[in-house]
A and B are shown apart, each in its own frame.
Chain A
Amino acid sequence: MKLRNLAHSRTGDKGNTSNISLIACDPKHFEHLRTHVTEARVKAHFHELVQGEVVRYEMPNIGALNFVLLHALGGGVTSSLALDAHGKSLSSALLDLDIPEPTL
């Protein structure tokens, strides 16, 4: 199934770094997200866009993951040639990721 069915997301930016949150709609699915939405999967999903590493922070307190993607914004928000220089639409791209259906 698509990640969009289990979670919601919002993107922010700082310089050449993108920050994409992934929040479980139902906290009981947090472990499932933790298992399947890894740094490696996110890096592979965005391989064409992200030049640096992907770091994942976990917030079990609210059932969320926070992804920091380095060198992801075409050199930086202020100098990027991209239409979406801030990368704000990347949250939608993340939610299109395919993941197994949870058993819960």
Chain B
Amino acid sequence: MKTLRIGTGAGYSGDRVEPAVELARDGQLDYLVFECLAERTIALAQQARRQDPAAGYDPMLDARMRAVLALAVRNQVRIVSNMGAANPVAAAQKTAEIARALGLHGLKIAAVVGDDVLEVVRRGDYRLEESGATIASLGDRIVSANAYLGVEPIVEALRTGAQVVITGRAADPALFMAPLVHEFGWALDDWHRLGQATVAGHLLECAGQITGGYFADPGFKDVPGLARLGFPIGEVSETGDVVIGKVPGSGGQVTVATCKEQLVYEIHDPCRYLQPDVVADFSQVTVEEIAPDRVRVSGGRGTPRTPTLKVSVAYTDGFIGDGQISYAGPGALERARLALEIVRERLAIIGVQSDELRFDLIGVDSLHGTALSRGAGAPYEVRARVAGRCASLAEARRIGNEVETLYTNGPAGGGGATQSVREVLAVQSVLLPRECVETSVLVMEA
């Protein structure tokens, strides 16, 4: 039976590059997929594109393509990636430029466009799913609106024979499902098969998270070689069943436990994992080790896809100001608490306008609050942190500033004060009827 070997070259935009090279060189792959778009990434990319029309694709595209293109061509590995972000066409052009520089003339690259639906969303009368507010109410704070595309436009791109396919926003599993649909000729209403394909895609989409990454808990769950973690290879058969493995000798491990953690990751209701192409059902999935570092996952099912596509809408929503300062030795906790009290009082005195303020003791209660934090013993060192959300940059800056003034106005022995401000790019979603999203494929040659 024919099997397809798909490797994951990246599980998020800042992921390591070396494991992708290892896969391109030794993975004996048919496809190498780079998944590089989180919720907010495309909004940041859209802002970059506004500054420079040639920008807006993943900043690491250059490094990744330079690292793997020659190997991919030599070993006949096709590449699929959403590194196009807010500018898939520019990403394809950049890839063509790199290919030429590497002597890979004639390399065919396809860009998938159409996920950018900002104008459609602006013209319509849509409501944000999470808050219920209208798109109109966001005014000119709206930065981007991108639809999660499914397999169809990616399959169209693969059909052109393009060696590299670059998309903008797409459903992460779809990046892995499209090669399967293309190579095996599955029908787009073969719901159970698409459901199982979703299982395969979902297992692979976070790269190292299934090969022992984000898993180790020393003494309870030990994983060797995390600095040399091998990214996953999925061997998928015509039935859709997938065997997860990795390059022999690479770090990490593929076990029933690592696969279960990735299977259940972020799926909410396992019976209804919504994708553009299918409503997947993971409730009958089985996970079985068939050899060391080889685990078979099968049993995914599906029901018909919904009439809408999810669209991620990003908009500016104020600024967050942050200030921190550390205390150590005897009385560190008391001095840090005093520092927080002083800043709280100061922010009121100088009238900082914020819709929320937060006071943390890093090393004591900053992650999970007082109820869950261990009360036992005084820490040797603690870092006081104040953060707040404000409408303007100037106002947000005042927060970090007040923390810094503790140097000469606060408790004894405070050191290492830092301050920062960042703009908030909030993300919510809108559901668009499928007919409103028009995609197309642009092909170019190096």
Q: Which residues of A contact B (CB under 8 A)?
A: 4-5, 8-10, 12-17, 19, 21, 23, 25, 45-49, 57, 59, 61-64, 66, 68, 75-79, 81-84, 89-90, 93, 96
- A-B contact list, 18 entries, CB within 8 Å: A8-B215, A8-B221, A17-B268, A19-B268, A45-B372, A57-B269, A61-B283, A61-B284, A62-B260, A62-B263, A66-B270, A68-B269, A75-B356, A77-B39, A81-B389, A83-B362, A93-B368, A96-B372
Task: Give A92 to B285 CA distance when docked, in angstroms.
Answer: 26
Interchain CB contact under 8 A, B268 and A23: no
Q: Among A15, A62, A63, A96, which residue has its beta carbon within 8 angstroms of that of B428?
A: A15
Interchain CB contact under 8 A, B130 and A48: no
Task: Give A16 to B426 CA distance when docked, in angstroms.
Answer: 11
> Inside 8 A of A15's CB, which chain B residues have their CB?
130, 427-429
A-B pairs with lowest CB-CB distance, top 8: A12-B266, A81-B358, A21-B264, A48-B369, A48-B371, A81-B387, A10-B261, A78-B426
Interchain CB contact under 8 A, B266 and A14: yes
* With contact pairs A19-B268, A49-B368, A93-B368 given, residues A64 and B40 touching in the complex (Cβ less than 8 Å): no
Within the complex, the shortest CB–CB distance from B1 to chain A, in Å, comes to: 24
Closest to B263 in A: A62
Within the complex, the shortest CB–CB distance from B16 to chain A, in Å, comes to: 18
> Inside 8 A of A75's CB, which chain B residues have their CB?
356
Q: Among B257, B360, B367, which residue has its beta carbon within 8 angstroms of that of A25?
A: B257
* With contact pairs A21-B265, A62-B287 given, residues A79 and B426 touching in the complex (Cβ less than 8 Å): yes
Interchain CB contact under 8 A, A81 and B424: no
* With contact pairs A10-B214, A78-B425, A81-B320 given, residues A59 and B270 touching in the complex (Cβ less than 8 Å): yes
Please tell me if B282 contacts chain A, counting CB pairs below 8 Å: yes
Closest to A44 in B: B371
Interchain CB contact under 8 A, B268 and A68: yes
> Inside 8 A of A78's CB, which chain B residues have their CB?
39-40, 317, 424-427
Within the complex, the shortest CB–CB distance from A76 to chain B, in Å, comes to: 7
Grouping DSSP codes into helix (H, G, I), strand (E, B) and loop, the A interface class, with mixed when no group exceeds half, is loop
> Inside 8 A of A57's CB, which chain B residues have their CB?
268-271
* With contact pairs A59-B283, A79-B426 given, residues A19 and B366 touching in the complex (Cβ less than 8 Å): no
Interchain CB contact under 8 A, B367 and A23: no
Task: Give A79 to B316 CA distance when docked, in angstroms.
Answer: 10
Please tell me if B439 contacts chain A, counting CB pairs below 8 Å: no
Interchain CB contact under 8 A, B358 and A82: yes
Q: Which residues of B contact A (CB under 8 A)?
A: 39-40, 130, 214-215, 217, 220-221, 257, 260-271, 282-287, 299, 317-318, 320, 356-358, 360, 362, 366-372, 385, 387-389, 424-429
Interchain CB contact under 8 A, B217 and A8: yes
Task: Give A93 to B385 CA distance when docked, in angstroms.
Answer: 21
* With contact pairs A10-B264, A15-B428, A48-B371 given, residues A23 and B257 touching in the complex (Cβ less than 8 Å): yes
Task: Give A17 to B426 CA distance when docked, in angstroms.
Answer: 14
Closest to B358 in A: A81
Within the complex, the shortest CB–CB distance from A68 to chain B, in Å, comes to: 5
> Inside 8 A of A25's CB, which chain B residues have their CB?
257
Query: 5 additional contacts, CB 8 Å, given A62-B263, A93-B367?
Result: A19-B268, A47-B371, A48-B369, A61-B285, A83-B362
Within the complex, the shortest CB–CB distance from B258 to chain A, in Å, comes to: 10
> Inside 8 A of B287's CB, which chain A residues have their CB?
62
> Inside 8 A of A4's CB, which chain B residues have their CB?
217, 220
